Structures are given as C-alpha cells and as structure tokens.
Structure 1
C-alpha cells in the first residue's frame, strides 16, 4: 500500500474517432475526488494537488504528467504513464506507476524534498536516447532525500542519476493489484440486442456495473449485475439493452474492496436501416438505407441548431470549430454522437 508519496502512470491511446473530441487528449483536474477511471488519454493537472489520488487507466490509454509542483501528493496510476516535463518539485510526493513510465526529456531536474518514484514494469528514456536525473544537492544531503524503486532490468546506461545519491534509500514499493476477474470475452449480440461476457476465474468479485457513453468521456450507469464472488469455473453473463442505443458500453468489474477493472465494447448503431452520421467540410449527412429520417443538432448548452426531417443525400450546414450533439431518430432507435466540428 502506498503511503505519503506520489505515483505516475501512462497508458496507450484508445480508439481514434474522426472529428470526435474523444480524439483529443483531455486535460483533467483530479483535485475533487480520490479515485478516477479513464479509458482515453489524459493530461493530469497536478499543481497544488495533495492527498491520495488513484488513477485507473483502461483500454491501453496513457496518463501524461507535464510538470510536478505539489506537496504531500500520493499518486497511484494503474497502467502506463508519461512524464513530459523537466521538473520534479515540491515536497513529500510519491509517484507510483504499475505499468511503463516513458520519459520525454533528456534531463529531469529533481528540486523537491523527500519525494519518491516507483515504477513496476518498465522505465523508458526518450526515443531510445539517454536521460539524466539531476538533483538539487542541498536537498539530497538530508536523510530524507529522493527515493526510488525501479524495475531490476532498467537500462542504467540510458537512465542515470547525477550526482550519485549517497544517502538515498529505496522507496517503499507497492504490489500490483491482481485482477479479481479473468475476462474471456465481452461482446455485443446484435440479434438479441444484449451484452454478453464470460469469465474464466473470479476472486472476491462483488458485481459488474454496466455503463454507456456516446463520446467515451462521460459515462452513465445503467445497472449492476451480481458476480459469483470466488470461482475457478467459467461463468457466463448477459445484459439486455433497451430501445435507446448508444455507441459505447463498458463493464466495470468491482471487487469487495472496491478495486475496479474496466472492459469496453463498441456497439454500432444497428437496425434494418444501418444508419450512420457523417460530417464533411462542416456539413452533416445521414447515410443508410432510408427514405427520410429525423435529425436534431444541438450545441453544448442544449440550444437547437437544427431539427427536422431529412432525406437521402441531404446535407445540413453546421457551425465549425465547436462541439455539437447530433441525434438521429428512426422509429424506436436513437443514434447520438458528440462531435468536434473542426473544418
């Protein structure tokens, strides 16, 4: 368990969706609560953030830290992380990364006091080059200087410390969490309009939370499905979806200690007409096998920009360089997309 220190984690990007604001790496303030879950790349805002912060990165996404200037920050990142800055400042910070930590600068200045860095899987120098951790000598002469715990196989020729830390002690490490559930598959059954998943084993598995999103950024809970607790036998689960379809769903597995793992599935807007929304040169069109359908376009504040019936090959002009919500309704089926109209 991490105590009174900092953690970094970076993950690899999720899917790329053209024109969607999910394509952009979002800058995220983590000062409001203790625990966060992401399945897209993020930039963490850490200035003046303190206390324990736990970041779970799903779907190979990456958490990026630009600079660090905090006091008493205990940051745990479960996943991969990137440190793109040159300065580690502050006091009594602990940075822990369960996956890979990628460094982007050839020099990292460590100016803080009593800070710790823990990387469990791998620490990487920028683009295969070298990186030097340069320390404020006066700060490191005290008994509580910089502490670190890196993988045993880290490249000591490419990652060096200057001057050598004579009084440095190994940072208190933390154990990577063993996933309570081994997921065999998670998929969407078009015929039955339901989510299906299978587990190979379960350890202390409390429940699965079903969530949906139209942009992969903002998630809403649908329901919970009770888990089997502890089992080494394969278990099958199903969850029937309603008439209103969303493009992205995920299953958030939660154990009895409230540790979570996130599993994602993309559900195409599927009905007999197979509709899809396209945005080209600031014009919206709805493609598919249909004669006419209803299209609504809103801005972020909910103001209606367009609402009406459109036909095949119709193109609707929309404002550029802003976020828009597009909704197509065909019978009981509803397709919603949030897009950044860039050009």
Structure 2
C-alpha cells in the first residue's frame, strides 16, 4: 500500500503521454481541441502536464465522457489510487460553493429540454447536497470545475445572471459541429455584405431579419436562433467560435428591426476585428437595460459596428446638414436612418465634427 487517500489522489499515474491516441479520439468525438480542454479544466497546460495526478485524470475522464481505463490503459496496480481519486473528484459536487452555483441555473427548463436528469420528488439534500444536480449541470456545461466554467464562459460573468446566460450560450454550442481545419472566412466579403444590407434595410424591411440571417450563412457564418430562459431578461445576441468558424447566436422572441440590426452588427464587429477568437455577449446587465459584453476589444468592435451601421451616403447627408451641435438634428437623422442617436454622435466625433466632451454625449446613454 502506497499511502492514504490523499497520497493516492496526488500520486502520479504511470502514463508516458497525456494526449495519446485514445484521448485525441475522445476529443474529436466531443469536438474539442487542447485549447478547449485547458479552458474547460480551468488551468494551464503547464499545470496539467507538470502535475498530472489521478485527480486530473478523473477530470479529463469526466470532461471527455470516457473511462480513464480506456483513455490511458491504467495499470491494475493503480486501480485503487484511481478509485480514491474518483471519490475525491465526486466530493467537489457536494461542496457549498458547487450547490450555490448549481441553484442559479434554469434547472426546470433544462430538465424540460432533456439536458439534465429529472429530479421530481427528490428532497433538496438528494438533489443538491448529494452532488446530483451540480454534477448534471457541470456535465451539460461541458466543464470539469467551477474554474473551468468561469474561464470558458467569462463573458457571462459580467452580467447579473451568469449561470442563465452561460446556459443559453451552451445551448447554441452543442448545436454546432467543429468545421474542418481548412475552413476559412473572408472578412472583406462579410464586411461588403453587411454594408449592402445596411444600405438596403428599408427596401428589404418586410423580410429583413431572414435576409440578414441567410446572407450571413452564405458567408459561412453559423447563425443560431435559440429561445432564451425565462429566469432572466432575454439576451440581445452572442458570438463565439467553433474552430475557425464564427457563430452568431440570437434569441427568439420579439425585437424591433433597429434592435436586431444593432445587435447583429455589434457581434459582427467582434468577429471582423477579432483574430484571437474572443467570444462576445450582449445581455441586459440589469432590468434597466445596461449592456454587458467582453471588455477586451469591445471598443474596437463597437467602432467597427458603428462604421458599418452608418453608410457613406448617410454620413454625407448628415455632414451637409451642418447643424451637428443641435440635439433636434441628431434625433431627426436617428429616425431617418433608423439607428440610435448615440451611434450618430459617436460617428460625428470620429469625424471630428463635434467635440469628445460634447453635451450630446448624453444621447449615448439612451437605450
């Protein structure tokens, strides 16, 4: 016997290669690459490789949905150590932090959709404190720890309902397969199509939304329409990447054409300017309607979106008017162009037609 349970869990498995052929096959079935694995585990490559223990083996087993014995051909001598590590791993789901985390998810709706196990008739202790629902939710979210959830769905952490919005994003993720490694998108083609759609928004008004969605799909962008959860105000839009393919996720339900166009163009701004494949979430931060989104690169994405939302012809018309400092003028063109006054103010500031500290900045706060 090599030691107590702690030594069993922390001892090193007798394996020469973590990402062997069996692990790579399991990753392919799940549509994951090593970058995804580290995010969903919640720590770096170095942490995994330099401290590979039986507990970390159990984390990968849980994440890939394949027994460790299949993934690494575990030596029978290590079977007891692996069993102890599994017990230690399962105890994570019973902690107060895990229970509190799980309670904030839209459990009944996820159960109705068949993504987590039904628990009708069970007591609170059997549902939560036993680790049943925390484990089910973590399995649905495709993460192996709370740190993995925070790292993978960091854009949702900026909202007051991070569990609800991360679950909404996850509903979209599981609908999209990872494309082949030779897949690519043309940012120039996408930008030109977005400009065309904006110029023709009024003539296309009756079928505007479907035309926008179909156009993006023709540009090799996956577009999903996913119902939002009733536990939180509906999100505006989100974008994430599956391999080299960008995915735009939109909620179903009522939304004005102006809101729809602004939401789509904002997430497309992230896609067009982001070479690091950062995700983005546009969601109400509060009932009052504050918008939450990824901080890194958000201002640049917003600038790209605003440039696409105002056509050159509209800019010329606005500049010819010349009354930049008048609120009534801005509001008139806002109605005429069907875009928020704040976008016009930002554009005029970029063109240096009005000062950065103009009183018209108040229009940027309008929802």
Do both share a fold (TM > 0.5)? no
Q: TM-score, normalised by structure 2?
A: 0.27
Q: Which has the higher helix share?
A: 2
Q: Which has the higher strand share?
A: 1
